[in-house]
Amino acid sequence: GDAETPGSVERRGRRGAEDGMSQAPGAQPSPPTVYHERQRLELCAVHALNNVLQQQLFSQEAADEICKRLAPDSRLNPHRSLLGTGNYDVNVIMAALQGLGLAAVWWDRRRPLSQLALPQVLGLILNLPSPVSLGLLSLPLRRRHWVALRQVDGVYYNLDSKLRAPEALGDEDGVRAFLAAALAQGLCEVLLVVTKEVEEKGSWLRTD
């Protein structure tokens, strides 16, 4: 993931009864709690993992440990940036998910998105090209940026760590439209985060 100004880890919490405040009769129900980490350094892969899992399970230290495990003998680790500020590759994400008993499945962009069985998918992690900026200059270089999509209480959210707050995408149709737009730009890759059982059965794919 590419660098961003230091942001805070942000948690949008419920308001109301959980805070010990009694809600007035007829008050609107509080919005769902959506966990969302903001971008820090080049840690978008760590943020995408935590955002898709909806809790802080990974840190830069944990990701660096995975890098060492994947390439124990290399002086310059191929799975992260040379500066040690992050920019982790897909192998780190896949190893992190495997450690939790989950799996990442590549989505074949040639398939129609109608074949994606979203109820079988825990969440999605997208890899997008992202322009590099130095101050106010936008450079013609492309870095890769990891973005999580996840459903919370029936609503899908774009949990991009560069957003100030989660962006609601709506229902299944909304997230398919978002994916279609991202894939249409090319250079976008989609990983499905699923349980091992769903991976083995292939039930993330609709065959009807």
Which residue numbers are catalytic? 44, 145, 160
Q: HSE of 137 in the Cβ direction (CA atoms, 13 Å)?
A: 4
Token pair belonging to 181: 């737009």
CB distance 197 to 120 below 8 Å: no
- Report the distance separating Cα 20 and Cα 93, nearest Å: 38
In degrees, to the nearest 5, what angle opens at C-alpha 117 toward C-alphas 111 and 118? 115
Helix (H, G, I), strand (E, B) or coil at 144: strand
